[in-house]
Structure 1
Amino acid sequence: MARALALMVCLLGLVLSTQVATSEARAFFVFGDSLVDNGNNDYLATTARADNPPYGIDYPTHRPTGRFSNGLNIPDIISENMGTEPTLPYLAPELTGQKLLVGANFASAGIGILNDTGIQFLNIIRISKQLEYFQQYQQRVTTLIGAAQTQRLVNQALVLITLGGNDFVNNYYLVPYSARSRQFSLPDYVRYLIPEYSKILARLYELGARRVLVTGTGPMGCVPAELAMRSRNGQCDPELQRASALFNPQLVQMLGQLNNQFGSNVFISANAFNMHMDFISNPGAFGFVTSKVACCGQGPYNGLGLCTALSNLCADRSKYAFWDPFHPSESASRIIVRQFMTGTTEYMHPMNLSTILQMDNY
């Protein structure tokens, strides 16, 4: 009897230590919009989804996964660099048990900082709901490994959040004389967005996030969709470029204020604008034949409408900076993540991801 009891205790200890060991691998959490959505919108009644071919044509399964990419997206490539498996969408039924310890992707295409951003897409997971799901996730993990271990897993995790672009292209500039553009001048709109974003990030901190990679907006006026609608000569739209130029510096300033408030470098800013402009300005230097024409689409610059099975499709996706009218190709995403990992302060402030991973590797 005593031997059997000792064996049971030993086995229980082994199971618990295995769970703890599994949680030692750094968890990864993702919040935001279509640039980082790994497929949550596939489970929702929304038009903002990437569940039809040719999406996923270069993914390992060669099938659409809900990622707005021909293959892997930015979170996948970050996971690859961290040596971990990609995070599953939070709504995926297979996100259970040990898979929860890898982290979760809460992102949803179409959302923004503001709740009225993306209303045309109907049923999407607004950022407040993503944060609610993060709380729910922690409750689920607590039943697996206990409250103390869950808190440790969350505190030591890497978090990526990508918001802001849709607040311009799918809100302020969505239609001429939109409600928000009648309410605010562009500088005032940016001044309204930044404190709203600050509240979201402070809430992430309250929920236990201690290393948060925050991406600014890319050069919104240069994406094929905006070239098709706004450009006569293939030049980036100056008005959307001005929006990025106003938003991004104020975002960096706000992150600095939050870090001062919390007494450490919780929030790391990634200059997505500079990262994109490198290959938009000089596509040939990065192996691209074009940074204006999307690989998949129709109309000028393949920038109109959605990428579908009926769209024009380029033969070699690695030669295109943009996969569809709004989203980078896997090749471009790899260039962006390379700057996340090793970029100078021109791209990553106050430090890059490799430095963070080394510092936190205790």
Structure 2
Amino acid sequence: MANLVNICVVFLLTLALGSLGIHAEAKAFFIFGDSLVDNGNNNYLATTARADSPPYGIDYPTHRPTGRFSNGLNIPDIISEKMGWEATLPYLSPELSGEKLLDGANFASAGVGVLNDTGIQFVNIIRIYQQLGYFKEYQQKLRAIIGKEEAQKLVKESLVLITLGGNDFVNNYYLIPYSVRSRQYPLQKYVPFVISEYKKVLQRLYKLGARRVIVTGTGPLGCVPAELAQHSRNGECAEELQKAASLFNPQLVKAIDGLNKNIGSDVFIAANTNQMHMDFITNPQSFGFETSKIACCGQGPYNGLGLCTPLSNLCPNRDLYVFWDPFHPSERANRLIVEQILGGSTSYMYPMNLNTVMAMDSRA
């Protein structure tokens, strides 16, 4: 009976937070991962994995490129907006100092994966363990400002978002025919290997103090315009990459469930971004999109070849496109994804959504 009462209280708090627009006390927000969540770190690196030229940022408030692989805001930006928090700065930004450190930091770097050899073609990117090293360095800077105990408290009460995995397939296993990793492992063994390495990353995050971590799965890897351009004749998704996603995502949820059971608390929350994407890939019109196959910015079949540049085809209305460039969602698609992160059922967010997390934490 007590459990039922607690569930009802959390449910009512979640409704109150969502419907009234009242957010729990501001949290620091930390972001780790790849180009889906990078907000400009790669601008400060000598790498080809950059989004610092037009038309990137065309719909950003400044209408200028920021390093985000988007026409406007990305997922972390929109979460911050919905929570009423200050947007986090890239960790490498000179502006991230003093009181701005209290808002958190974005450590993500386009091109990285779970594995160290993912993204080697991009040369200078912040690989995931280096991102975690920067997180440790960040905490040292924080302690110098607010003291050790307050710094530990800020990190413990923070929200963390981590997005990894897609590049381990697209830019590693399937990058070229007979890649090193594909010769080393059949897909059925490569996926558990990546998952086992991902668990080590998440355990390291926990050791560094993170206690609320949203872990996104991969999107539908075979349905992005870049893969359609290479593998599709009639707009069908690339079967082999879809198989990889279908193996990876359920195993990631299982790994997260196991980690939480070992810890004895729901530290890690699985976001089924694969299903979130598939909803509007399979039926784009019902979400107000014109197409889920053609990128807004690009060239070649499905606008899926090469990079998005000032010379690329550019759609006039980005809100009608699921994909902004050959790999990345449009801002509007990102907003739909964040809606599910905030309030989605357990089919999308396991074991709970972000509104429920905020409601529970406001009671603590």
Give me the TM-score of the superposition, normalised by structure 1.
0.93
- Alignment match, 2:105: 104
Amino acid at match of 2:242: Q
- Alignment match, 2:176: 175
Q: What secondary structure, in the 3-state scheme, does the structure 1 residue paired with 2:211 have?
A: coil
* 2:341 is equivalent to residue 340 of structure 1: yes
Map residues 202-213 of structure 1 onto 2, 5 A cutoff. 202-213=203-214
Residues of 2 paired with 1:345 and 1:47: CA distance? 38
Q: What secondary structure, in the 3-state scheme, does the structure 1 residue paired with 2:136 have?
A: helix
Residues of 2 paired with 1:51 and 1:237: CA distance? 29
Map residues 41-190 of structure 1 onto 2, 5 A cutoff. 41-190=42-191
Map residues 318-329 of structure 1 onto 2, 5 A cutoff. 318-329=319-330
Residues of 2 paired with 1:58 and 1:273: CA distance? 25
Amino acid at match of 1:165: G
Residues of 2 paired with 1:144 and 1:299: CA distance? 51
Q: What secondary structure, in the 3-state scheme, does the structure 2 residue paired with 1:345 have?
A: coil
* 2:215 is equivalent to residue 222 of structure 1: no
Q: What secondary structure, in the 3-state scheme, does the structure 1 residue paired with 2:114 have?
A: coil
- Alignment match, 2:26: 25
Residues of 1 paired with 2:231 and 2:174: CA distance? 11
Residues of 2 paired with 1:44 and 1:155: CA distance? 30
Q: What secondary structure, in the 3-state scheme, does the structure 2 residue paired with 1:159 have?
A: strand
Amino acid at match of 1:255: I
- Alignment match, 1:38: 39
Q: What secondary structure, in the 3-state scheme, does the structure 2 residue paired with 1:213 have?
A: strand
Residues of 2 paired with 1:281 and 1:58: CA distance? 26
Q: Which consecutive segments of 4 or more residues in structure 1 shift more than 6 A?
A: none
Amino acid at match of 1:265: D
What do the CA deviations read for 1:171-216 (whole angstroms, capped 9, x no partner)?
0000000000001000100011111000000000000000000000
- Alignment match, 1:6: none
Kindly state the Cα deviation for residue 157 of structure 1 after the two structures are TM-superposed.
0.3
- Alignment match, 1:200: 201
Amino acid at match of 1:87: T
What do the CA deviations read for 1:235-273 (whole angstroms, capped 9, x no partner)?
001100000010011100000110011110000000011
Mark the runs of 5 or more structure 2 residues left unpaired by the alignment.
1-24
Give me the TM-score of the superposition, normalised by structure 2.
0.93
Amino acid at match of 1:46: T
Residues of 2 paired with 1:285 and 1:153: CA distance? 41
Q: What secondary structure, in the 3-state scheme, does the structure 2 residue paired with 1:227 have?
A: helix
- Alignment match, 1:14: none
Q: What secondary structure, in the 3-state scheme, does the structure 2 residue paired with 1:161 have?
A: strand
Kindly state the Cα deviation for residue 341 of structure 1 after the two structures are TM-superposed.
0.3
Kindly state the Cα deviation for residue 25 of structure 1 after the two structures are TM-superposed.
2.3
Residues of 2 paired with 1:60 and 1:216: CA distance? 28
Q: What secondary structure, in the 3-state scheme, does the structure 2 residue paired with 1:239 have?
A: helix
Residues of 2 paired with 1:85 and 1:26: CA distance? 10
- Alignment match, 1:267: 268
- Alignment match, 1:16: none
- Alignment match, 1:251: 252
- What is the Cα-based RMSD across aligned positions, in Å? 0.6
What do the CA deviations read for 1:310-331 (whole angstroms, capped 9, x no partner)?
0000000011000000000000
- Alignment match, 1:240: 241
Kindly state the Cα deviation for residue 82 of structure 1 after the two structures are TM-superposed.
1.1
Residues of 2 paired with 1:76 and 1:338: CA distance? 13
Residues of 1 paired with 2:192 and 2:57: CA distance? 38
- Alignment match, 2:22: none
Kindly state the Cα deviation for residue 106 of structure 1 after the two structures are TM-superposed.
0.1
What do the CA deviations read for 1:3-51 (whole angstroms, capped 9, x no partner)?
xxxxxxxxxxxxxxxxxxxxx6200000000000000000000000000
Kindly state the Cα deviation for residue 361 of structure 1 after the two structures are TM-superposed.
1.2
Residues of 1 paired with 2:192 and 2:315: CA distance? 40
- Alignment match, 2:14: none
Q: What secondary structure, in the 3-state scheme, does the structure 2 residue paired with 1:76 have?
A: helix
Residues of 2 paired with 1:82 and 1:288: CA distance? 26
- Alignment match, 2:300: 299
Q: What secondary structure, in the 3-state scheme, does the structure 2 residue paired with 1:361 have?
A: helix
Amino acid at match of 1:169: V
Amino acid at match of 1:184: Y
Map residues 284-295 of structure 1 onto 2, 5 A cutoff. 284-295=285-296
Amino acid at match of 2:346: T
Q: What secondary structure, in the 3-state scheme, does the structure 1 residue paired with 2:362 have?
A: coil
- Alignment match, 2:6: none
Residues of 2 paired with 1:191 and 1:336: CA distance? 26
Identity %: 72
Residues of 1 paired with 2:163 and 2:189: CA distance? 21
Residues of 1 paired with 2:117 and 2:48: CA distance? 16
Kindly state the Cα deviation for residue 233 of structure 1 after the two structures are TM-superposed.
1.1
What do the CA deviations read for 1:143-183 (whole angstroms, capped 9, x no partner)?
11000000000000000000000000000000000000001
